[in-house]
Chains A and B, each alone.
Chain A
Amino acid sequence: MACPHVVGTAALIWCRYPNMTRDQVRIHLRKTAQDLGTLGFDDHYGFGLVDANASISHAPPSHDVAIINWERPSYANLNASTITNTTVLNYGTAFDWVNASLIVNGTIVNSTTIGLEGGQTSTVSLSWTPQTSGVYNLTSLVSSTYSSATDCISANVTTEASTIKVPLCRKSIQEGIDVARSGDTISVANGTYHEIVNVWKDNLTIRGEDKRGTIIDCKDKDSWGFLLYGRHFVRIEGFTIKRTQGGRDGGSSIMGFAGVSLAYSWNCTINDNIMSFHTIAWITYYAYGLLLTFSFGNNITKNKFEHNMIGMAIKNGSSDNRIAGNHFYWNGGRALGDGGLMLVNASNNMIYHNNFIYNECHLRNDTVSSNYWHGRWNVTGSYWDNYTGSDTNGDGVGDTPPLPQQQVDYLPLMAPWLPGDITHDGSVGPADFARLAAAYGSTPGSPTWDPHADLDENAIVGPGDFAILSKYFGQDWTTYWGYP
C-alpha cells in the first residue's frame, strides 16, 4: 500500500501548487523525500521516503533544473555522429536560460543554451563523433544561468558495432533488449542477473560472456529466465539459467515455468547454456529447464540440463526442431515416469547426440507422431546410460535393439557425446583426427565418405569439421560437460 501514499501526496502537491507541471510534481516528490538507506539515491528507497509535509511546506525554488530523461545510443559508430537527447525540466518557477552540455571522458564536446519558462520541459539534442575505438563515458550536464543549480547523468558507450554491452552500457539484459535494433548483439558480462527477460524483438543475439559465470538467477518461484513468444531468429547462448521453482503448466498453457520458454517461435537457437535446478516441491506441477510449445524449426544445441524436474519438454505440436548435442543429467523428481526429455504431441523433430545420464526417467514419449532419432546421415543417435546392448562392429554405435522404455533410438551411442568425437569413444584425440584425415574432402557417394566425420553435417568433410575437431581436441566428455 505504498503506491497510494505517493499518489495522495502528489495530489496534495498539485492542489497546493496548481501551476506545477507533471514533471515538476515528479521532481518535487523526489527533492522533498526523506533520504533513507545510503546517502542519496539507492536501490531500496529510490530518492527516499515520500514526505507530504516537506512537499507542501517547501515551495518550488525560483531557479532549478532537472534531467527528466536521457536517450543515448546503445553503441557509437566510429567517425559518425552520435546523438544524445536530454529532456530537461526547468524545475524552478521563473524563466531561466538552461545550459546543456555533453561531456565525453571529462571534456565538453558539445553544448547549447535554451530558454525555458518555469515548469517547462524541453529536449536538447547534442552530438559527438568518436574518432578512436574504445569505451567512452558520456555525461549530460544541465545548469541554470540564474542560480548554481545543476543536474547530470552519466553512462558508458562503446564503439563496438551493433553490440550492446550489459551492464557496461545498459544496466539489465531487459533494458538492452528494449533498446536493441534488429541484428544487434546483447553482450552480457559475467555476473548474476535477477531478471525475467522478455525477448520481445526478432533477430537478436543474446550472449553471455561465459556460461559458467553469466548467471540468470530466476526468482525462487513462479518464474522464468528467458521468454520467447512469437519470436524468430533469436539466438541465446552462454548463460547459466538456474533455480526456477513452482508453477504449473495448466495443460495447454504456454506459460509453463522454465529456464527458457519458447512459444510459437521459430528459427531460434538456444545454444551452449546450462539450465539447472528448475524444480518444484509439488509433483503434480511442472518446472522445466527448457520448454518448447507451438514452436518449430528451432535449434536446441549443446545445452546442459541438470537437476531439473523436467530437463526439456517439446509440446503442443512443436515440430521440425533440432535437439542435438544436449546433456541431460540427473533430472527428475516427480516419480511419474519423466525427468530428462518429455515429448507431448511433438512430431518431426530431430533428436540426436544427446546424453541421458542418471535421469529419473530419460524419456517420456507421449507423442503419437514420429520424431527422428538420428542426425542427417542416419548413423548415430543419442547416448543412454542404461543401454545394455553391445557394439559388435566397433563403430561406437550399439547394434542390439534398444531398451523397451525407449523404443525409439536404434542407433545408441556407446559413450557420451561431445563435439568432435568421430569414433564415439567419449573423447576427442588422435583416433578422431585419423578418421577425419582419411575422409577429408569426401562428399556423400565418395569412396572415402565417412558420415561420422561430417561433424557439421554440411555434406562435405572439410575445414568446418577440422575446426570443430581442433577446438575440442584433447577433451573427453567429462571435461567438456564440466565435471572435474
Chain B
Amino acid sequence: MIGKKKSKSLLVGYLLATLMFTAIIRLPVNSMPLSLSINTGDRMEFIVGVENRLGVYGEIENLIQKYDGQIINTISTADKLLGVVVSLPSGPVLASCIAEIKSAELSRYVEPNEKIKMVQYEPNDPEWRNQTKQWSLWSENYGIRANWAWNTTLGTHAVRVAVVDSGIDYTHEDLSANYIGGGYDFVNNDTDPMDDLDHGTHCAGIIAAQINNGKGIAGIAQVELVAEKCIDSNGFGTYSNVASAIIHAVDSCNATIVSMSLGFLFRSQAVYDAIKHAYDKGALLVAAAGNDGWEGRSYPAAFKEVIGVSGTDVNGNLGGTDWHSSYGDWLELAAPGDKIYSTIGKRTRAANTIRLVGHPWRVRM
C-alpha cells in the first residue's frame, strides 16, 4: 500500500471487455490525460460504489465533470454496474465533490483506489532452492499427500481454476498443457495476461503444472488454468483491478475455483462486492492469509465467503524461517507455504539457472 506510487499509464477509453458487459454503455471523453497515477501528482483515483439503477453512470459523470473529474474505469458484472473508478483533481474541491456525490445519494461507499501489495512473494535466493523440492505435496507429516490422491485421480479439465494474480507464463513447458485463454490483463488493459512477476506462474505450477511429462514439477490437479492478471511487475495491484479480475474470472471465464494468493489489510468494499458476486455465482474462493505475521485481518481471506488459508512449514509450524503467516479466527484452513518449489517464468530462469527438476518421487498409478 505504501510503495512509491508509480505512474501508471491508463489507456484512453475503457476496457472493452469490461464495458461489453456493462448495462450502461458509455464511452468516456477522449480528452483525459494520457498518464494518470494513483494518489500522486494532481489527481487521485477513487472507487465510487454505485446504486444499481438506470442512469447512475451518467449522473456521476455529469456531477464530477463540474470538478474536472473523469470516470476512468468501471467495475461491473455481466448484468450490473457495481462501481466506477473516478479520477479527481487533488485539492480542496475534492471534499466538496465527494460530499456532493454522497448527498446526491449516488454512492454506497467511496474509497481510495489504493495500490495493494500482494502477499507471499517468495524469494528467489539460490540457496532457498536447495531445499528438498516439493515436500509440500508428498510429506507424510505436514504435506498434503497429493501423491496418494493421484492413485485415484490426477484431475480433469472439467474443473477450471482462475489464478487472480500477476498472470501466468503460459509458454512455460510445464503449464501450457493446462492453460487456457480467456483471462484478462487488467494491469495493461489487454487480453494477454502474461506474467512479468513470476508470482502467478508459481501459484499456477503448484495447482496444475503438467504431471508425468518428464519435465519440471508435478501440479496437484490436472485442471484448466485461467490467468486473471491484476498484479503488476512490482507486486502491486489496485482494488479496482483486483475486483474486476475476480468478476471476470467467474463471469467471462466461468471459473469454478478462484485462487487469490494476495491480500491487504484494508477492507475494500469494492473487492467485497466482487467477492460476493463470485460467491453468489457458486465459485469456490480461496485466499492467502497474508505473511505479515500478526493477528490482524487480511482481506479477501477474512471475508466469510472466502476460504482463508494460513501457511505452514515442513514441520507443520505456522510460517517459515524468514516469514510469518498471519492468523486469527477468520482463518479456515492451513496449507504448506514455506519453501515451495514451483514453476517460474523465463526471465527469472535466466537469472537462476536451476529451474526445472524431475519428480522427486514416482507417481503411483
Contacts and interface: CB of A to CB of B under 8 A. Distances in A.
A335 B197 CA distance: 39
A224 to B, nearest CB: 8
A51 interface: yes
A211 B125 CA distance: 46
B331 interface: yes
A2 B44 contact: no
A294 B294 contact: no
Contact of A171 (B256, B310, B329): B329
B296 interface: yes
B149 A57 contact: yes
Contacts of A200: 109, 111, 267, 269
Contacts of A248: 2
A219 B328 CA distance: 14
Q: Which of A7, A53, A220, A247 has the most CB of B within 10 A?
A: A7
A435 interface: no
A445 interface: no
B297 interface: yes
A47 B311 CA distance: 13
Given A195-B296, A255-B114, A8 B221 contact: yes
A462 interface: no
Contacts of B268: 198
Nearest to B222: A15
Contacts of A295: 95
A247 B2 contact: yes
A91 to B, nearest CB: 15
A168 interface: no
Contact of B335 (A3, A257, A264): A3
A294 B95 contact: yes
Contact of A57 (B91, B92, B148, B267): B148
B308 A46 contact: yes
B348 to A, nearest CB: 15
Interface string B110-146: 1110100000101000000000000011000010111
A53 B145 contact: yes
Nearest to B140: A53
Nearest to B99: A266
Contacts of A5: 136, 144, 206, 220, 309, 335-337
Interface stretch (A18-26, A136-144, A354-362): A18-26
A230 interface: yes
B5 A47 contact: no
Interface stretch (B24-32, B76-84, B152-160, B354-362): B152-160
Given A2-B336, A18-B158, A254-B44, A266 B220 contact: no
Given A3-B287, A22-B283, A198-B266, A10 B295 contact: no
Contact of B122 (A1, A195, A253): A1
Contacts of A223: 265, 296
Contacts of B223: 11, 15
Interface string A467-483: 00000000000000000
A2 B266 contact: no
A3 B153 contact: no
Contact of B40 (A219, A252, A294, A317): A252
A69 B334 contact: no
Interface in A156-202: 171-172, 174, 178, 194-196, 198, 200-202
Contact of B257 (A7, A227, A316): A7
A222 B340 contact: no
Contacts of A47: 332-333
B156 A45 contact: no
Contact of B331 (A43, A56, A263): A43
A295 B102 CA distance: 14
Nearest to B41: A252
A219 B1 CA distance: 14
Interface residues of A, number: 80
Interface string A263-294: 11110000000000000000000000000001
A250 interface: yes
B248 interface: no
A48 interface: yes
A232 interface: yes
Contact of A15 (B221, B267, B286): B221
A408 interface: no
Contacts of B335: 2-3, 5-6, 9, 49-50
Contacts of A316: 90-92, 94
Contacts of A253: 5, 39-40
Interface in A51-109: 51-57, 69
B286 A53 contact: no
Given A48-B333, A49-B312, A294 B94 contact: yes
Contacts of B244: none
Interface in B216-235: 219-223
A2 B309 contact: yes
A257 to B, nearest CB: 8
Contacts of B111: 198, 200, 229-230
Interface string B158-186: 11010100000000000000000000000
Contacts of B269: 200
A29 interface: yes
A15 B159 contact: yes
Contact of A52 (B5, B99, B149): B149
A12 B155 contact: yes
Contacts of B256: 14, 22
A49 B337 CA distance: 11
Q: Which of B136, B256, B334 has the most CB of A within 10 A?
A: B334
Contacts of B36: none
Q: Which 6 A-B residue pairs are closest in the complex by CB-CB distance?
A: A8-B220, A317-B92, A2-B337, A53-B145, A53-B148, A2-B311
14 contacts: A3-B309, A4-B259, A11-B161, A12-B155, A15-B155, A22-B282, A44-B331, A45-B310, A47-B333, A52-B148, A69-B304, A195-B297, A219-B294, A229-B111
